[in-house]
Amino acid sequence: MLIYNTLTKKKEEFKPLNPPNVGMYVCGPTVYDYFHIGNARSFVMGDIIRQYLIYKGYNVKYVMNLTDIDDKIIRKANEEGVPTQEIAERYSKAFFEDIAKLKIKPADVYPKATEHIAEIQDLIKKLEERGIAYNINGEVFYDVLKFDEYGKLSGKKIDELESGARIEINDLKKNPLDFSLWKKAKPDEPKWGSPWGEGRPGWHVECSAMSMKHLGETFDIHAGGHDLIFPHHENEIAQSEGATGKPFVNYWIHFGFLNFQNEKMSKSLGNFFTTRDILKVHSAESIRLFFGQTHYASPLSFSDELLSNAEKALVKIKNFLETLEENIRSAKEDDSYPEFNIQDYYDRFEQAMDDDFNTPQAIASIFDLIRDVNKILNSGEQFGVTFYEDIKEFLLRTAEGVLGILPSLESGTMADTEFTDKLLQILIDIRLKAKQEKNYALADEIRNRLNELGFVLLDGKDGTKIRREQ
Protein backbone atom coordinates (compact mmCIF):
# COMPACT_ATOMS: atom_id res chain seq x y z
CA MET A 1 0.00 0.00 0.00
CA LEU A 2 1.42 3.37 -1.06
CA ILE A 3 0.87 6.63 0.78
CA TYR A 4 2.02 10.03 -0.41
CA ASN A 5 4.06 11.41 2.47
CA THR A 6 4.26 15.21 2.68
CA LEU A 7 7.47 14.83 4.68
CA THR A 8 9.42 12.97 1.99
CA LYS A 9 7.34 14.36 -0.88
CA LYS A 10 6.92 10.94 -2.44
CA LYS A 11 4.68 7.92 -2.40
CA GLU A 12 6.03 5.37 0.03
CA GLU A 13 5.20 1.81 0.95
CA PHE A 14 3.15 1.90 4.16
CA LYS A 15 5.00 0.12 6.96
CA PRO A 16 3.36 0.56 10.36
CA LEU A 17 5.58 0.59 13.43
CA ASN A 18 3.77 -2.26 15.19
CA PRO A 19 1.60 -4.12 12.70
CA PRO A 20 -1.25 -4.86 12.77
CA ASN A 21 -1.62 -1.78 14.99
CA VAL A 22 -1.75 1.64 13.39
CA GLY A 23 -1.84 4.96 15.22
CA MET A 24 -3.53 7.79 13.35
CA TYR A 25 -4.09 11.39 14.47
CA VAL A 26 -6.19 13.92 12.59
CA CYS A 27 -6.38 17.58 13.60
CA GLY A 28 -9.94 18.21 14.63
CA PRO A 29 -12.12 21.26 14.95
CA THR A 30 -11.77 24.41 16.97
CA VAL A 31 -15.16 24.35 18.64
CA TYR A 32 -16.35 27.93 18.32
CA ASP A 33 -19.00 27.48 15.61
CA TYR A 34 -20.68 24.90 13.38
CA PHE A 35 -18.09 23.37 11.09
CA HIS A 36 -18.30 24.14 7.38
CA ILE A 37 -18.40 21.78 4.45
CA GLY A 38 -14.68 22.46 3.81
CA ASN A 39 -13.81 21.11 7.27
CA ALA A 40 -16.17 18.24 6.52
CA ARG A 41 -14.03 17.25 3.55
CA SER A 42 -11.03 16.72 5.85
CA PHE A 43 -13.09 14.83 8.43
CA VAL A 44 -14.74 12.57 5.81
CA MET A 45 -11.51 11.79 3.96
CA GLY A 46 -9.79 11.01 7.27
CA ASP A 47 -12.65 8.64 8.05
CA ILE A 48 -12.39 6.92 4.65
CA ILE A 49 -8.63 6.40 5.05
CA ARG A 50 -9.19 4.97 8.50
CA GLN A 51 -11.94 2.64 7.25
CA TYR A 52 -9.74 1.40 4.44
CA LEU A 53 -6.93 0.60 6.89
CA ILE A 54 -9.46 -1.38 8.92
CA TYR A 55 -10.63 -3.12 5.73
CA LYS A 56 -7.00 -4.15 5.15
CA GLY A 57 -6.94 -5.79 8.55
CA TYR A 58 -5.17 -3.12 10.55
CA ASN A 59 -6.18 -2.38 14.07
CA VAL A 60 -6.40 1.39 13.96
CA LYS A 61 -6.33 3.69 16.94
CA TYR A 62 -7.85 6.90 15.61
CA VAL A 63 -7.43 10.10 17.59
CA MET A 64 -9.00 13.47 16.81
CA ASN A 65 -8.44 16.47 19.05
CA LEU A 66 -10.91 19.18 19.95
CA THR A 67 -9.36 22.60 20.37
CA ASP A 68 -11.55 23.89 23.16
CA ILE A 69 -9.54 26.92 24.22
CA ASP A 70 -8.21 29.52 21.80
CA ASP A 71 -8.61 33.15 20.69
CA LYS A 72 -11.66 32.46 18.51
CA ILE A 73 -13.50 30.73 21.35
CA ILE A 74 -12.64 33.54 23.75
CA ARG A 75 -13.83 36.15 21.25
CA LYS A 76 -17.13 34.36 20.69
CA ALA A 77 -17.66 33.96 24.45
CA ASN A 78 -17.06 37.67 24.96
CA GLU A 79 -19.47 38.56 22.16
CA GLU A 80 -22.17 36.48 23.77
CA GLY A 81 -21.21 37.30 27.34
CA VAL A 82 -20.96 33.64 28.34
CA PRO A 83 -18.06 31.52 29.69
CA THR A 84 -15.70 30.02 27.08
CA GLN A 85 -16.62 26.59 28.36
CA GLU A 86 -20.22 27.12 27.33
CA ILE A 87 -19.19 27.95 23.76
CA ALA A 88 -16.84 24.94 23.60
CA GLU A 89 -19.49 22.58 24.97
CA ARG A 90 -22.22 23.88 22.67
CA TYR A 91 -20.14 23.47 19.50
CA SER A 92 -18.53 20.18 20.57
CA LYS A 93 -22.03 18.79 20.92
CA ALA A 94 -22.94 20.18 17.48
CA PHE A 95 -19.73 18.69 16.05
CA PHE A 96 -20.62 15.20 17.30
CA GLU A 97 -24.17 15.50 15.99
CA ASP A 98 -23.01 16.62 12.56
CA ILE A 99 -20.26 14.02 12.10
CA ALA A 100 -22.74 11.30 13.07
CA LYS A 101 -25.14 12.57 10.41
CA LEU A 102 -22.23 12.48 7.94
CA LYS A 103 -21.82 8.79 8.80
CA ILE A 104 -18.34 9.40 10.24
CA LYS A 105 -17.53 6.70 12.76
CA PRO A 106 -16.53 8.01 16.19
CA ALA A 107 -12.79 8.27 16.86
CA ASP A 108 -11.28 6.09 19.59
CA VAL A 109 -10.28 9.19 21.55
CA TYR A 110 -11.31 12.84 21.29
CA PRO A 111 -8.75 14.57 23.51
CA LYS A 112 -9.54 18.11 24.58
CA ALA A 113 -6.85 20.70 25.11
CA THR A 114 -8.30 21.82 28.46
CA GLU A 115 -8.06 18.26 29.77
CA HIS A 116 -4.36 17.92 28.88
CA ILE A 117 -2.88 20.97 30.53
CA ALA A 118 -0.46 18.85 32.60
CA GLU A 119 0.86 16.99 29.55
CA ILE A 120 1.22 20.26 27.65
CA GLN A 121 3.16 21.82 30.52
CA ASP A 122 5.42 18.76 30.79
CA LEU A 123 6.28 19.08 27.13
CA ILE A 124 7.08 22.77 27.49
CA LYS A 125 9.25 21.99 30.54
CA LYS A 126 11.24 19.45 28.52
CA LEU A 127 11.80 21.98 25.76
CA GLU A 128 12.94 24.50 28.33
CA GLU A 129 15.35 21.99 29.90
CA ARG A 130 16.80 21.32 26.49
CA GLY A 131 17.26 25.03 25.89
CA ILE A 132 14.79 25.13 22.99
CA ALA A 133 12.15 27.22 24.75
CA TYR A 134 12.58 30.56 26.47
CA ASN A 135 10.41 32.40 28.94
CA ILE A 136 10.02 36.15 28.78
CA ASN A 137 7.82 37.58 31.55
CA GLY A 138 5.51 34.60 31.61
CA GLU A 139 5.34 34.13 27.79
CA VAL A 140 7.10 31.00 26.66
CA PHE A 141 8.33 30.78 23.07
CA TYR A 142 9.84 28.06 20.93
CA ASP A 143 13.27 29.03 19.63
CA VAL A 144 13.13 27.85 16.01
CA LEU A 145 16.84 28.43 15.42
CA LYS A 146 17.56 25.68 17.97
CA PHE A 147 15.87 23.05 15.82
CA ASP A 148 18.11 22.32 12.83
CA GLU A 149 15.44 20.60 10.85
CA TYR A 150 12.87 23.38 11.09
CA GLY A 151 11.15 23.61 7.70
CA LYS A 152 11.59 19.96 6.74
CA LEU A 153 7.85 19.28 6.35
CA SER A 154 6.84 22.42 4.49
CA GLY A 155 10.10 22.68 2.56
CA LYS A 156 10.53 26.23 3.81
CA LYS A 157 13.91 27.61 4.75
CA ILE A 158 14.32 29.65 7.90
CA ASP A 159 16.18 32.54 6.27
CA GLU A 160 13.58 32.85 3.49
CA LEU A 161 10.82 32.71 6.05
CA GLU A 162 12.48 35.36 8.13
CA SER A 163 12.82 37.81 5.29
CA GLY A 164 9.22 37.16 4.27
CA ALA A 165 7.81 37.26 7.78
CA ARG A 166 5.72 40.24 8.67
CA ILE A 167 7.33 42.08 11.53
CA GLU A 168 4.98 41.43 14.38
CA ILE A 169 4.52 43.95 17.11
CA ASN A 170 5.88 41.57 19.63
CA ASP A 171 9.32 42.66 20.62
CA LEU A 172 9.52 39.91 23.21
CA LYS A 173 10.43 37.26 20.67
CA LYS A 174 14.04 36.64 19.70
CA ASN A 175 13.04 35.75 16.17
CA PRO A 176 9.82 36.55 14.28
CA LEU A 177 9.36 32.86 13.53
CA ASP A 178 9.38 31.83 17.18
CA PHE A 179 5.92 30.82 18.31
CA SER A 180 4.03 30.71 21.61
CA LEU A 181 4.07 27.60 23.71
CA TRP A 182 2.51 29.24 26.75
CA LYS A 183 0.50 32.47 26.58
CA LYS A 184 0.46 34.75 29.57
CA ALA A 185 -3.01 35.30 31.02
CA LYS A 186 -4.83 38.43 29.96
CA PRO A 187 -7.55 39.80 32.23
CA ASP A 188 -10.89 37.99 31.88
CA GLU A 189 -9.42 35.07 29.97
CA PRO A 190 -9.46 31.43 31.13
CA LYS A 191 -6.17 30.58 32.77
CA TRP A 192 -4.25 27.78 34.42
CA GLY A 193 -1.40 27.95 36.91
CA SER A 194 2.05 27.02 35.57
CA PRO A 195 5.76 27.28 36.38
CA TRP A 196 5.76 30.43 34.18
CA GLY A 197 2.75 32.06 35.82
CA GLU A 198 -0.92 31.92 34.98
CA GLY A 199 -1.79 31.45 31.35
CA ARG A 200 -2.97 29.07 28.67
CA PRO A 201 -1.33 26.82 26.09
CA GLY A 202 -0.54 27.78 22.51
CA TRP A 203 -2.38 25.90 19.75
CA HIS A 204 0.52 23.94 18.21
CA VAL A 205 1.74 22.48 21.47
CA GLU A 206 -1.69 21.01 22.23
CA CYS A 207 -1.50 18.70 19.24
CA SER A 208 2.07 17.58 20.03
CA ALA A 209 1.20 16.79 23.65
CA MET A 210 -2.13 15.09 22.94
CA SER A 211 -0.99 13.01 19.98
CA MET A 212 2.08 11.70 21.86
CA LYS A 213 0.04 11.00 24.99
CA HIS A 214 -2.47 8.84 23.10
CA LEU A 215 -0.27 7.34 20.36
CA GLY A 216 3.29 7.39 21.72
CA GLU A 217 6.33 9.54 20.97
CA THR A 218 6.60 8.10 17.45
CA PHE A 219 3.47 7.07 15.61
CA ASP A 220 2.32 6.13 12.13
CA ILE A 221 0.01 8.67 10.50
CA HIS A 222 -0.76 12.32 11.15
CA ALA A 223 -3.27 14.09 8.92
CA GLY A 224 -5.05 17.38 8.49
CA GLY A 225 -5.99 19.95 5.88
CA HIS A 226 -3.35 21.41 3.58
CA ASP A 227 -3.47 24.71 5.46
CA LEU A 228 -1.99 23.01 8.50
CA ILE A 229 1.35 22.03 6.89
CA PHE A 230 2.78 25.39 7.84
CA PRO A 231 3.07 26.51 10.50
CA HIS A 232 0.93 24.07 12.55
CA HIS A 233 2.43 20.72 11.59
CA GLU A 234 5.91 22.13 11.06
CA ASN A 235 5.73 23.40 14.64
CA GLU A 236 4.36 20.13 15.94
CA ILE A 237 7.43 18.35 14.53
CA ALA A 238 9.77 20.94 16.02
CA GLN A 239 8.15 20.63 19.45
CA SER A 240 7.87 16.84 19.57
CA GLU A 241 11.22 15.99 18.05
CA GLY A 242 12.86 18.83 19.94
CA ALA A 243 11.61 17.34 23.20
CA THR A 244 12.06 13.60 22.57
CA GLY A 245 14.93 13.49 20.08
CA LYS A 246 12.93 10.81 18.23
CA PRO A 247 11.07 10.92 14.91
CA PHE A 248 7.54 12.16 15.64
CA VAL A 249 5.42 10.85 12.75
CA ASN A 250 6.25 8.48 9.91
CA TYR A 251 3.57 9.47 7.35
CA TRP A 252 2.08 12.92 6.96
CA ILE A 253 -1.14 13.10 4.95
CA HIS A 254 -2.70 16.39 3.85
CA PHE A 255 -6.17 16.95 2.47
CA GLY A 256 -6.65 19.38 -0.41
CA PHE A 257 -8.89 22.37 0.06
CA LEU A 258 -12.52 22.51 -0.68
CA ASN A 259 -12.78 25.77 -2.58
CA PHE A 260 -15.74 28.00 -3.21
CA GLN A 261 -15.66 30.83 -5.74
CA ASN A 262 -12.00 30.00 -6.46
CA GLU A 263 -10.89 30.44 -2.89
CA LYS A 264 -10.36 28.13 0.02
CA MET A 265 -13.65 27.84 1.84
CA SER A 266 -13.06 29.44 5.20
CA LYS A 267 -14.84 31.05 8.06
CA SER A 268 -12.74 34.19 7.87
CA LEU A 269 -13.41 34.81 4.17
CA GLY A 270 -17.12 34.24 4.77
CA ASN A 271 -17.42 31.99 1.67
CA PHE A 272 -18.70 28.98 3.55
CA PHE A 273 -21.75 26.79 4.12
CA THR A 274 -22.16 24.93 7.36
CA THR A 275 -22.32 21.17 7.07
CA ARG A 276 -25.48 21.35 9.14
CA ASP A 277 -27.23 23.44 6.46
CA ILE A 278 -25.97 21.33 3.56
CA LEU A 279 -27.26 18.21 5.33
CA LYS A 280 -30.76 19.70 5.29
CA VAL A 281 -30.83 19.45 1.52
CA HIS A 282 -28.36 16.71 0.64
CA SER A 283 -27.88 13.28 2.09
CA ALA A 284 -24.69 12.21 3.87
CA GLU A 285 -24.11 9.67 1.10
CA SER A 286 -24.21 12.30 -1.62
CA ILE A 287 -21.77 14.51 0.29
CA ARG A 288 -19.42 11.56 0.79
CA LEU A 289 -19.72 10.50 -2.84
CA PHE A 290 -19.03 14.07 -3.96
CA PHE A 291 -15.86 14.15 -1.83
CA GLY A 292 -14.81 10.64 -2.82
CA GLN A 293 -15.01 11.40 -6.54
CA THR A 294 -11.90 13.58 -6.19
CA HIS A 295 -8.57 12.38 -4.84
CA TYR A 296 -8.15 13.53 -1.23
CA ALA A 297 -5.06 15.63 -1.95
CA SER A 298 -6.44 17.54 -4.95
CA PRO A 299 -8.33 20.79 -4.66
CA LEU A 300 -12.07 20.46 -5.12
CA SER A 301 -14.62 23.13 -6.00
CA PHE A 302 -17.84 23.10 -4.09
CA SER A 303 -21.04 23.41 -6.07
CA ASP A 304 -24.61 22.52 -5.42
CA GLU A 305 -24.83 21.11 -8.92
CA LEU A 306 -22.05 18.58 -8.25
CA LEU A 307 -23.80 17.54 -5.06
CA SER A 308 -27.04 17.08 -6.98
CA ASN A 309 -25.17 14.98 -9.55
CA ALA A 310 -23.89 12.80 -6.74
CA GLU A 311 -27.47 12.51 -5.51
CA LYS A 312 -28.54 11.29 -8.96
CA ALA A 313 -25.74 8.73 -9.07
CA LEU A 314 -26.97 7.46 -5.72
CA VAL A 315 -30.42 6.85 -7.14
CA LYS A 316 -28.75 4.35 -9.49
CA ILE A 317 -27.20 2.56 -6.51
CA LYS A 318 -30.50 2.60 -4.64
CA ASN A 319 -32.45 1.14 -7.57
CA PHE A 320 -29.77 -1.48 -7.98
CA LEU A 321 -29.96 -2.41 -4.31
CA GLU A 322 -33.73 -2.76 -4.50
CA THR A 323 -33.49 -5.06 -7.52
CA LEU A 324 -30.80 -7.02 -5.75
CA GLU A 325 -33.00 -7.48 -2.68
CA GLU A 326 -35.86 -8.70 -4.87
CA ASN A 327 -33.51 -11.22 -6.46
CA ILE A 328 -32.33 -12.42 -3.06
CA ARG A 329 -35.97 -13.08 -2.13
CA SER A 330 -36.79 -14.89 -5.36
CA ALA A 331 -33.42 -16.61 -5.99
CA LYS A 332 -33.33 -20.16 -7.31
CA GLU A 333 -32.82 -22.85 -4.73
CA ASP A 334 -29.66 -24.23 -6.27
CA ASP A 335 -26.05 -23.09 -6.54
CA SER A 336 -26.25 -21.76 -10.06
CA TYR A 337 -23.88 -18.86 -10.58
CA PRO A 338 -23.42 -16.71 -13.66
CA GLU A 339 -20.10 -16.23 -15.38
CA PHE A 340 -18.97 -13.47 -13.13
CA ASN A 341 -15.75 -13.05 -11.21
CA ILE A 342 -16.37 -10.84 -8.21
CA GLN A 343 -12.72 -11.06 -7.25
CA ASP A 344 -11.83 -8.84 -10.23
CA TYR A 345 -13.87 -6.05 -8.71
CA TYR A 346 -12.32 -6.48 -5.27
CA ASP A 347 -8.91 -6.41 -6.94
CA ARG A 348 -9.70 -3.18 -8.78
CA PHE A 349 -11.13 -1.59 -5.67
CA GLU A 350 -8.07 -2.54 -3.62
CA GLN A 351 -5.55 -1.58 -6.30
CA ALA A 352 -7.12 1.86 -6.44
CA MET A 353 -7.20 2.30 -2.68
CA ASP A 354 -3.70 0.85 -2.27
CA ASP A 355 -2.43 3.57 -4.57
CA ASP A 356 -2.57 6.45 -2.09
CA PHE A 357 -6.30 6.02 -1.45
CA ASN A 358 -7.44 6.68 -5.00
CA THR A 359 -11.14 6.90 -4.17
CA PRO A 360 -12.27 8.13 -7.64
CA GLN A 361 -10.98 4.90 -9.19
CA ALA A 362 -12.29 2.81 -6.32
CA ILE A 363 -15.74 4.33 -6.88
CA ALA A 364 -15.45 3.63 -10.60
CA SER A 365 -14.90 -0.07 -9.82
CA ILE A 366 -18.16 -0.04 -7.82
CA PHE A 367 -20.17 1.61 -10.60
CA ASP A 368 -18.66 -0.83 -13.10
CA LEU A 369 -19.81 -3.73 -10.96
CA ILE A 370 -23.30 -2.25 -10.84
CA ARG A 371 -23.34 -1.82 -14.62
CA ASP A 372 -22.10 -5.37 -15.23
CA VAL A 373 -24.40 -7.01 -12.70
CA ASN A 374 -27.37 -5.01 -14.01
CA LYS A 375 -26.84 -6.69 -17.38
CA ILE A 376 -27.14 -10.06 -15.66
CA LEU A 377 -30.20 -8.99 -13.64
CA ASN A 378 -31.90 -7.59 -16.74
CA SER A 379 -31.27 -10.75 -18.75
CA GLY A 380 -34.18 -12.33 -16.89
CA GLU A 381 -32.15 -15.39 -15.96
CA GLN A 382 -32.20 -16.29 -12.25
CA PHE A 383 -29.37 -17.73 -10.19
CA GLY A 384 -28.81 -19.20 -6.74
CA VAL A 385 -28.83 -16.85 -3.76
CA THR A 386 -25.03 -16.97 -3.30
CA PHE A 387 -24.50 -14.84 -6.38
CA TYR A 388 -26.77 -12.05 -5.16
CA GLU A 389 -25.40 -12.29 -1.62
CA ASP A 390 -21.85 -11.98 -2.96
CA ILE A 391 -22.76 -8.78 -4.77
CA LYS A 392 -24.44 -7.40 -1.68
CA GLU A 393 -21.44 -8.26 0.45
CA PHE A 394 -19.14 -6.50 -1.99
CA LEU A 395 -21.22 -3.34 -1.72
CA LEU A 396 -21.45 -3.57 2.04
CA ARG A 397 -17.70 -3.97 2.43
CA THR A 398 -16.54 -1.40 -0.12
CA ALA A 399 -19.26 1.18 -0.84
CA GLU A 400 -20.58 1.16 2.70
CA GLY A 401 -17.80 -0.14 4.96
CA VAL A 402 -15.01 1.96 3.46
CA LEU A 403 -16.70 4.84 1.63
CA GLY A 404 -20.03 5.17 3.46
CA ILE A 405 -21.97 5.90 0.25
CA LEU A 406 -24.62 3.17 0.25
CA PRO A 407 -28.08 4.71 0.50
CA SER A 408 -30.40 3.05 2.96
CA LEU A 409 -33.43 1.30 1.54
CA GLU A 410 -35.75 2.86 4.07
CA SER A 411 -38.30 5.38 2.95
CA GLY A 412 -35.88 8.28 2.72
CA THR A 413 -32.88 9.94 4.20
CA MET A 414 -33.02 12.36 7.11
CA ALA A 415 -32.46 15.17 4.63
CA ASP A 416 -35.47 14.02 2.57
CA THR A 417 -37.74 13.87 5.60
CA GLU A 418 -36.76 17.30 6.84
CA PHE A 419 -37.18 18.74 3.39
CA THR A 420 -40.63 17.13 2.94
CA ASP A 421 -41.74 18.48 6.31
CA LYS A 422 -40.79 21.97 5.25
CA LEU A 423 -42.67 21.68 1.96
CA LEU A 424 -45.74 20.38 3.79
CA GLN A 425 -45.63 23.33 6.14
CA ILE A 426 -45.60 25.72 3.18
CA LEU A 427 -48.74 24.07 1.78
CA ILE A 428 -50.48 24.18 5.15
CA ASP A 429 -49.69 27.88 5.48
CA ILE A 430 -51.05 28.60 1.99
CA ARG A 431 -54.18 26.58 2.75
CA LEU A 432 -54.78 28.56 5.94
CA LYS A 433 -54.45 31.79 3.99
CA ALA A 434 -56.90 30.50 1.38
CA LYS A 435 -59.42 29.72 4.13
CA GLN A 436 -58.98 33.15 5.68
CA GLU A 437 -59.65 34.67 2.28
CA LYS A 438 -62.70 32.38 1.99
CA ASN A 439 -61.17 30.63 -1.01
CA TYR A 440 -62.52 27.25 0.12
CA ALA A 441 -62.10 25.70 -3.32
CA LEU A 442 -58.31 26.17 -3.15
CA ALA A 443 -58.17 25.07 0.50
CA ASP A 444 -60.03 21.87 -0.37
CA GLU A 445 -57.91 21.22 -3.38
CA ILE A 446 -54.75 21.38 -1.27
CA ARG A 447 -56.31 19.00 1.27
CA ASN A 448 -57.45 16.56 -1.43
CA ARG A 449 -54.20 16.57 -3.37
CA LEU A 450 -52.22 15.89 -0.17
CA ASN A 451 -54.71 13.17 0.65
CA GLU A 452 -53.93 11.48 -2.64
CA LEU A 453 -50.29 11.38 -1.55
CA GLY A 454 -51.24 9.75 1.75
CA PHE A 455 -51.23 12.81 4.02
CA VAL A 456 -54.32 13.52 6.10
CA LEU A 457 -54.81 17.07 7.39
CA LEU A 458 -56.44 17.43 10.80
CA ASP A 459 -57.65 20.93 11.66
CA GLY A 460 -57.72 21.66 15.37
CA LYS A 461 -57.49 24.41 17.94
CA ASP A 462 -53.68 24.64 17.66
CA GLY A 463 -53.62 24.75 13.88
CA THR A 464 -53.36 21.98 11.34
CA LYS A 465 -51.68 18.69 12.07
CA ILE A 466 -50.61 16.12 9.54
CA ARG A 467 -50.95 12.39 9.77
CA ARG A 468 -49.19 10.11 7.34
CA GLU A 469 -51.35 7.22 6.18
CA GLN A 470 -49.12 4.38 5.13
Out of 111, 199, 202, 225, the residue judged to bind ligand AMP by CB under 6 A: 225
Only segment of 23-31, 178-186, 288-296, 386-394 that touches Zn ion (CB under 5 A) = 23-31
Residues in the chain: 470
Cβ proximity to Zn ion: between 209 and 377 the closer is 209
Cβ proximity to ligand AMP: between 27 and 352 the closer is 27
Cβ proximity to ligand AMP: between 103 and 254 the closer is 254
| Closest listed residue to residue 349, CA positions, set 362, 359, 367 | 362
221 forms part of the interface with Zn ion (CB under 5 A):
no
- CA 228 → CA 75, 223, 251, 252, 458, distances in Å? 22, 9, 15, 11, 55
Q: Cβ distance 129 to 244 under 8 Å?
A: no
Please give the Cα distance from 256 to 254 (Å, whole number). Answer: 7
132 forms part of the interface with ligand AMP (CB under 6 A):
no
Only segment of 37-45, 93-101, 159-167, 313-321 that touches ligand AMP (CB under 6 A) = 37-45
Residue type, 33: D
- Min dist CB 15 to Zn ion, Å, is 24
Name residues contacting ligand AMP, limited to 307-326 (CB under 6 A): none
In three-state form (DSSP H/G/I as H, E/B as E, the rest C), the secondary structure along 116-137 is CHHHHHHHHHHHHHCCCEEEEC
Q: Cβ distance 333 to 384 under 8 Å?
A: yes
Q: With contacts defined by CB under 6 A, how many residues of the chain interact with ligand AMP?
A: 17
Residue 258 contact, options ligand AMP, Zn ion, none, Cβ 5-8 Å cut-off depending on partner type: ligand AMP
154 forms part of the interface with ligand AMP (CB under 6 A):
no
DSSP-assigned letter for residue 197:
-
- Min dist CB 465 to ligand AMP, Å, is 41
Residue 223, C-beta contacts closer than 8 angstroms, at least 6 positions apart: 24, 25, 26, 27, 42, 46, 49, 252, 253, 254, 255
**H or E element: which one contains 155?**
none
29 forms part of the interface with ligand AMP (CB under 6 A):
yes
Alpha carbon 106 to chain centroid, angstroms: 11
Exposure string of 43-76, with b = 16+ CB inside 10 Å and e = fewer, is bbbbbbbbbbbbebebebbbbbbbbbbbeebbeb
27 forms part of the interface with ligand AMP (CB under 6 A):
yes
Out of 6, 14, 41, 398, the residue judged to bind ligand AMP by CB under 6 A: 41
233 forms part of the interface with ligand AMP (CB under 6 A):
no
Name residues contacting ligand AMP, limited to 242-271 (CB under 6 A): 255, 257-258, 264-266
Q: Cβ distance 395 to 406 under 8 Å?
A: yes
190 forms part of the interface with ligand AMP (CB under 6 A):
no
207 forms part of the interface with Zn ion (CB under 5 A):
yes
Residue 207 contact, options ligand AMP, Zn ion, none, Cβ 5-8 Å cut-off depending on partner type: Zn ion
Only segment of 39-47, 320-328, 382-390, 433-441 that touches ligand AMP (CB under 6 A) = 39-47
Exposure string of 96-134, with b = 16+ CB inside 10 Å and e = fewer, is eebbebbbbeebeebbbbbebbebbbebbbebbeeebbb
- Min dist CB 366 to Zn ion, Å, is 33
Out of 7, 22, 24, 27, the residue judged to bind Zn ion by CB under 5 A: 27
Q: With contacts defined by CB under 5 A, how many residues of the chain interact with Zn ion?
A: 2
Q: Cβ distance 24 to 61 under 8 Å?
A: yes
39 forms part of the interface with ligand AMP (CB under 6 A):
yes
Q: Cβ distance 402 to 48 under 8 Å?
A: yes
Residue 42 contact, options ligand AMP, Zn ion, none, Cβ 5-8 Å cut-off depending on partner type: ligand AMP
Cβ proximity to ligand AMP: between 23 and 407 the closer is 23
- Please give the residue ranges that form the binding site for Zn ion (CB under 5 A): 27, 207
